[in-house]
Amino acid sequence: MAESKAPQAIDLSELVDFLKGVLWGCWRFRWPAVAVAWGLSLAGWLLVSLLPDVHQASTRVYVETQSALRPLLQGLAVNTDMMSDVAMMERAIMSRPNLERLARETDLDIQAKDKAAFDQLIGQLQASIKLERDGNNIVRISYQNNDPRKALTVVTALLNNFIEGSLGKNRSDSSSAEKFLVDKLKDYERRLNEAEQQLADFKRKNVGLLPGEGSDYYGRMQGEVSKLQAIEGRLRVARNRKAELQRQLEGEEPVFGLVPADEKSNLLNAPQDRQIAQFEQQLAELRLKYTETHPDIVRIKQMLAELRAEKEAAAKNSGTARRAYSPLDLNPVYQQMKLQLSQVEVELAQIQAEYADQSAVVGSLRQRIDTMPAVEAELKRMMRDYDITKAQYSELLRRVESARLSEDAEQSKSDVTFRIIDPPSVPAVPIGPKRGLLMTGVLLLALVAGMGLALGLNFTQPVFYTGKDLERRFGVQVLGTIRMARTEFETAVARRGSTLVLASVAALVVCYVLLLVFAAAPGHVDQELIKGAIG
């Protein structure tokens, strides 16, 4: 363990000796190091003092988007997100076209003699202008420039452009949207009129082939067939009743001695009178429903004419009629059944007429089975297109009214309000440059440069301070060394030189401290005075 520690001790001792040698070597060149430190410090501090002041102008504006009119227009007007418009305006105001316009408005472009200088000016504006959000609705605008008046002018112009641009953009968007909607509304109005005209022409062209309201062709066909089947059922019932009455009439027996002799002549005409009365009643009921040309009315008129003719013929030949009259004519049951038979015959005739009409309708539908579905499909397509066009037209009309209401609300300037919290201003104290920090950096850099010079001279002009240095350099054994003996005068001169070096370094530090205090003071020396002193 002891053997392993010995080399480390030797190495550490050699390192210490080496560092001592380096320090003594640097001390040899102390005056060049101090001179370099002083020179660099003075030059650097002078440059820092000559740096132009940087003034910052700023303003803060509050964007009020909650107005009393907005809740009242909820659902009626277009709700515009003013904060998103403001954010978009923040990005737009930093665009090159707006910055070029700003440079011309504030006369900053006078300094630019050519295009390259103007491009550099635009780049400086982009770097110096700041738009920040202090909260949700507060926008802060700031700009830095060496001239406080120019900084204030630029911030004022930015504030005006920002407010006018935000309001103008929203109104421009509303006007553009309204113009677009009005153009589309006119287009859909034209298309709606064309669709209505085409639909009217189609209906006029296909009269009789169009389906009934609320039903298609097959539904109509099924309904008409069902009606025909119902009429067939009624027709069978009427025929069965007629057959049954005829069978009963054929089996009826005559009646004798039931009617007095003086009433027999009246009974002879009673059947015709009852039938005529019955038919006249039915004719009156049918006239309430149909015209005189209806088949049922025409048929009953013919039967009435026949009955009246029979009655007149019977009246002329009453004697012969009485002798030829059948005894069944005097049977009241027989007469009642005969009257019912006449009624059934009339009803049967009506049902047969209905059956014929309904059969014609069904036959017509079956004949047009290949035409009506195509007509119906085309009608549905046209109605669908018409409904879509009408719905789009109604929606566009609603949106146009909403856009107009929104534009009226925006023109009233009650939808959004800009309140300037802090007017554009420039503090009396410039915000830059940070002279204290820069002077500290200059001092540190000067000290490092002086030490670096001394170190470099030491290595370029080496000397031997110990015997070990000679042994390592020449590889010979040094038997002994003799220390240089100085007189009291030489010792005093050396001490005086060391004191002067330390004093010069201390003076440099004192100058640094005084400059820091001077730079931190509100009214530090004017740059023009420094330039004049240099000149």
Residue whose C-alpha is closest to residue 163's, from 409, 413, 425, 427: 413
Contact between 61 and 420 (Cβ < 8 Å): yes
In this predicted model, what pLDDT tens digit does every residue of 211-267 receive, in sequence order? 664 456 677 778 888 888 898 888 888 888 888 878 877 765 544 444 444 444 454
Is 17 in the same domain as 106?
A: no
Q: Which residue has the higher pLDDT, 160 or 374?
A: 160
* Residue-level pLDDT at 215: 53
Going from the C-alpha of 93 to that of each of 26, 81, 273, 417, 424, the distances in angstroms are: 59, 18, 108, 19, 17
Residue 206 in domain: no
Is 221 in the same domain as 355?
A: yes
Max mean pLDDT among 174-183, 257-266, 328-337, 503-512 falls in 503-512
> One-letter amino acid identity for 456?
G
| Confidence label for 22 from pLDDT (cuts 50, 70 and 90) | confident
Is 328 in the same domain as 237?
A: yes
Residue 516 in domain: yes
* Residue-level pLDDT at 396: 81
Residue 388 in domain: no
Contact between 39 and 382 (Cβ < 8 Å): no
Q: Over the chain, what is the mean pLDDT?
A: 75
Q: What is the mean pLDDT of residues 150-171?
A: 78
Is 510 in the same domain as 478?
A: yes
Q: How far apart are CA 397 and CA 199, in angstroms?
A: 22
Is 235 in the same domain as 370?
A: yes
pTM of the shown model: 0.46
Q: What is the mean pLDDT of residues 358-375?
A: 77
Q: Which residue has the higher pLDDT, 415 or 439?
A: 439
Is 417 in the same domain as 344?
A: no
What total of structural domains would you count in the chain? 3
Q: What angle do CA 32, 33, 35 make, to 5 degrees?
A: 65
Q: Which residue has the higher pLDDT, 121 or 185?
A: 121
* Residue-level pLDDT at 255: 44
Q: How far apart are CA 315 and CA 432, in angstroms?
A: 141
Q: How far apart are CA 235 and CA 282, in angstroms?
A: 19
Q: What is the mean pLDDT of residues 308-316?
A: 75
Q: How is residue 173 written in tokens?
A: 């968007």
Last residue of a domain, one of 392, 425, 458: 425
| Confidence label for 173 from pLDDT (cuts 50, 70 and 90) | low
Is 246 in the same domain as 348?
A: yes
- Whether the per-residue pLDDT at 477 is higher than 70: the answer is yes
Residue 116 in domain: yes
Residue 392 in domain: no
| Confidence label for 270 from pLDDT (cuts 50, 70 and 90) | low
* Residue-level pLDDT at 261: 44
In this predicted model, what pLDDT tens digit does every residue of 368-394 receive, in sequence order? 676 767 777 888 888 888 889 888 888
Residue 209 in domain: no
Residue 212 in domain: no
Contact between 471 and 478 (Cβ < 8 Å): yes
Going from the C-alpha of 527 to that of each of 39, 151, 299, 434, 517, the distances in angstroms are: 21, 19, 129, 15, 17
Give the range of the structural domain holding residue 264, as residue numbers without chain letter: 217-383
Q: What is the CATH number of the domain that holds 76?
A: 3.30.1890.10
Is 138 in the same domain as 225?
A: no
Is 116 in the same domain as 27?
A: no
Residue 195 in domain: no
Place of tokens 């295009």: 115
Identify the weakest region by mean pLDDT among 58-62, 177-181, 320-324.
320-324
Is 239 in the same domain as 349?
A: yes
Is 349 in the same domain as 444?
A: no
Orientation angle between helical segments 148-205 and 96-105, nearest 10 degrees = 130
* Residue-level pLDDT at 291: 80
* Torsion angles phi and psi, residue 315, rounded to 5: -70, -35
Q: What angle do CA 392, 393, 397 make, to 5 degrees?
A: 115
* Residue-level pLDDT at 77: 46
Kindly report whether the peptide bond that precedes residue 433 is cis, defined as omega within 30 degrees of 0: yes
Q: How far apart are CA 517 and CA 162, in angstroms?
A: 41
* Residue-level pLDDT at 214: 41
Identify the weakest region by mean pLDDT among 38-52, 74-88, 193-207, 228-242.
74-88
Residue whose C-alpha is closest to residue 448's, from 15, 21, 44: 44
* Residue-level pLDDT at 142: 92
In this predicted model, what pLDDT tens digit does every residue of 396-434 receive, in sequence order? 888 777 777 666 655 554 456 778 888 999 888 888 888
Q: Which residue has the higher pLDDT, 47 or 344?
A: 47
Is 440 in the same domain as 458?
A: yes
Q: End-to-end alpha-carbon separation of the chain, Å?
A: 72
Q: How is residue 418 written in tokens?
A: 């800009």
Q: What is the mean pLDDT of residues 304-317?
A: 76
